[in-house]
């Protein structure tokens, strides 16, 4: 393996390790080099290696065993076709959760607009700004995490513990969806404009616009799922 460039480090590390597994440099079931060893070989930080391992695990190339390390799992796991197949299997359940989100998140944004202070809104702005950078860099894992953080921050701004806890339950179910979806560049870009419109409504304290933009955003999520299934 060769050292990677600074741009889109995580994805380049993912590609490097994946290619090594496919080429047989790491036998299936064999333990991969340690984080420190990969840091030295690829010229990146430990956090980047860990992010790459998480992506590779979701893609099916690597199995992470707590306390033992990362192990090569497959040489031909989730290519584009298998990602589409994953959506075909899981979309009915995900659509059920999205329907619940269509009830909870418009309520959350209405309450957030009523109750959020300027510091909390600024935090949402900060999350959105970093999200834009992650999309431009093509960092799948960071885009997934920041998309989750954006919606979580809106729920935190409601100051309603029940709503916050309900969102946490749904977030767990959507975590893998986000990572699988944002593996594709077009999906990483798809939430940029909706997030901007939602943030703009919050900044203007416009409840009607906030509810409308959140509903539009979540309805588009369902359309995106259906489009993924149609490709399978």
**pLDDT of 142-151, one tens digit each?**
888 899 999 9
Q: What is the pLDDT of residues 128-139, one digit of tens each?
A: 999 999 999 887
Cα 74 to Cα 61, 64, 69, 79, 154, distances in angstroms: 5, 13, 16, 12, 39
More confident residue, 189 or 74: 189
> How confident is the model at residue 194, as a pLDDT?
96
Separation of CA 116 from chain center: 25
pLDDT band at residue 90 using 50, 70 and 90 as cut-offs: confident
DSSP alpha helices (H): ranges in the chain?
9-22, 35-42, 46-59, 80-115, 118-137, 140-156, 161-181, 185-190, 192-203, 207-231
Residue 2: pLDDT band (50, 70, 90) is very low
Q: Rounded to a whole number, what is the distance in angstroms from the first to the last CA of the chain?
A: 33
Contact by Cβ (8 Å): 134, 146: yes
156 is written with which tokens? 């935190």
Residue with tokens 């590609």: 15
Q: Which domains does the chain have, with CATH numbers?
A: 9-72 (1.10.10.10), 80-231 (1.20.120.530)
Sign of CA dihedral 131, 134, 139, 142: negative
């Amino acid at each position: 393996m060769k050292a990677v460039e600074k741009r889109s480090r995580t994805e380049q590390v993912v590609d490097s390790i994946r290619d090594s597994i496919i080429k047989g440099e790491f036998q299936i079931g064999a333990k991969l080099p340690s984080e420190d060893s990969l840091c030295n070989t690829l010229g990146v930080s430990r956090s980047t290696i860990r992010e790459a391992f998480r992506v590779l695990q979701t893609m099916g190339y690597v199995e992470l065993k707590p306390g033992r390390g990362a192990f090569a799992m497959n040489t031909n796991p989730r290519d584009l076709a298998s990602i589409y197949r994953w959506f075909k299997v899981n979309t009915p359940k995900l659509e059920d959760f999205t329907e619940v989100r269509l009830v909870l998140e418009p309520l959350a944004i209405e309450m957030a607009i009523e109750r959020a202070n300027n510091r909390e809104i600024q935090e949402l702005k900060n999350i959105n700004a970093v999200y834009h950078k992650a999309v431009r860099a093509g960092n799948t894992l960071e885009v997934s995490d920041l998309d989750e953080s954006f919606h979580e921050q809106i729920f935190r701004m409601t100051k309603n513990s029940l709503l916050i806890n309900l969102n946490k339950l749904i977030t767990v179910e959507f975590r893998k969806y986000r990572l699988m979806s944002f593996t594709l560049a077009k999906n990483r870009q798809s939430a940029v404009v909706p997030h901007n419109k939602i943030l703009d409504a919050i900044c203007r304290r416009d409840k009607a616009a906030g509810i409308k933009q959140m509903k539009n955003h979540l309805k588009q999520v369902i359309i995106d799922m259906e489009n993924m299934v149609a490709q399978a």
